Structure 1
Amino acid sequence: DGMQGYLRDYSLNQIGPAEVTEAQIEEAKNRNMRVFSKVDTFASWQYGTIPYLPCPYQWHDRYKALERLGVNGTLESWSSGYKPNFLSKLRAWTCWTDYPSFETLLNQTATVIFGKNQQEQVLKAWEHFSRAIRLVPDTGPNMGTNNAIGNPIFFQVPPVRTATFTYSWSDPAKNDPDLNPYWPFTVSRMVFFPDFSNQVNRAEQYARNATGIVATNETKILPLFLNYLKKAIDEMERGLTLYRSAAINSPEAKRREAVREVIVAEQLQRMMQSDYAILEFEDLRMKLVKEKEKEAIQEILDRMENIVKDEIERTELSLLATTRDSRMGFQFEQDYVYTPYSLKEKLLVLKDTLLYQLPKVRKENIR
């Protein structure tokens, strides 16, 4: 697309290493020094509230890069992820000399979790998941990759939930931990909150920050960002179709664990979908503010209404998953980024937007 950005820390959509890292490794080797690296091998800050990322082909490419560069030792988990999981077991195998082929390991892993007859579907699903993560433009420890599931879609300024110091002699910037008083369930950098003065399109701003693309103000990054995020979502769905089928057809003794694997992948896709929804909705909100034509206003409101309806359904599924699996939403640096309680609160915001806020604006613009 003729644009270049930079990767935020701890992301899987790129294999690595960075150019400067490769140069440092080369220099260390020239000095006969051993090289040790902090490197993610099963979980990442990119989707850090998912217990592990089921993208084994992408992970394996990273394992091969470590081997190719002669890295002598690794610290393989910083503050994300849970063990045991099938990826950490695969990684353990690849640390041995002359380990079995990766395809053999994947087939064995698929058999253990889903049963022997489901190998083909499971491996194809993992291929789709691995392709999907490569397409994700949202990198690093952001709202979109960690809290989109838990972040409401804000149409109007919500009631405050904590004390504010906007009009006092206290400095709000010194708030520690830095919490957004309108959504204080995690640190504010994990919360997408509109500029209700309508001076800044926060969705466009988010896309620029998350991708690291530097462009003129006239060049819109958000459409490109959403385009690639949609491609990742669609790729996840292709994989999930196979994954769900494999779980449903797995032996009864294995089905519980197989379904659990499916839910992890579904939660990953829902995070992508909510990321897309939040940013698209905010972009539409900014267009609505400036729009004068009543027909165009109604079209914008129609789309916004559909986005909120989809987000309600998605949040209800996320709530069910989070209620059944306490790994969801947790990240060791942040504690719980979203919880069953905060998801219930999000649903209240969404339903208020759908049932009261949007209809009120629609009614005002029919006159």
Structure 2
Amino acid sequence: MPVKARKLLSLQETQDSLEMLSYFTKAGNRGYIPYPAYIQPVALSVYDNFAQKLQSTKNHKLFTHSPTGIPTEFPNLYLTKLGQLAIPVIRDCMNNPFINGQFKKMTLHPLIAHLGETVIKYQLPAGGFLNHDYFEQAADVCFADFKVRGNTNQFSRILSSWLTTFKNSANAINRFMDIIVNKAPIFEVHSIVVQLKTSVGNMPQFGEENFRDQSEAEMLEELAQPIIKKVWQNKNANNVIGILSKDEIDLIGDRSKRLIFFVKKEFSDLENWTDTILYQTLYQFFENTITHHINYGDIASMNAGIMPLFQGQHLNYYDLNQSGIAPRLSMLKAHLYGTDYWMRVDG
């Protein structure tokens, strides 16, 4: 049976994971994306919702004469529920870097990628809306092809593998977090970013891939391992009880590995991050060279000093006995694994 995509993220997890994705990829920065001023960028979740809706509907009508509250440029013509999903996606896809091929060295969610490729293949963004009957007929052919090719055995295997890998990753992070909270009802999270400067200069390390001594993943691992080893060797002093790593990449091609440290806390005293033993251990690795950059992160859920204090603490401080802890833990988890639902770094 063909595999159908399912909702694996709650609405809040969707929002939190997309905010994290937009931040580290720089996709939310218009300075990196040449969007026309008159087009509102569309979130990948809208593509996902539209693709899943197409999989389950037989009616491809985009326009209706029945008032729906969503008017069009045509007199007495409104968007259907499907049209309310379809039209923003059609207008967005040629400008969206995840869809139009601008974003390299990453793999997009297969269903979203398939939708974007099919819409562009049938040139719906260039079709305009001068004749809604013609446009709707062209869209109907496009959507039918989307469903046919999305039901093949090969595509079903690809989608199934993607969803299974994501669920396994989410389960692994949830088990890890269970261990953390059992060890430490009060803990902090700190992250540092190890980033390659592959987008600038022509360093031999970043030349033609077939002639490199190391892959970018290997270069990052070589930089990250001494840091992890040093921190873990000193865990009795710095109170680190767990370490995770997360692969990231941005639109300009700079690939990163975020190292995330979970620190057990005994008391609720507000500490200066730079006075901690963990900081002193990490600081010796901070550097900015022509090939790479290593520094403290700037994500509020896993770094101190990014946002105003909440309940007298930085947002990277977690106390299981405090009110409002559940949504904050959910946000942290969405930041850790939720982005992998939408896209993954190649290699």
Q: Which category describes the TM-score, using the shorter chain as reference length?
A: under 0.3
The answer to which structure has the higher helix fraction is: 1
TM-score, L = length of structure 2: 0.22
TM-score, L = length of structure 1: 0.21
The answer to which structure has the higher strand fraction is: 2
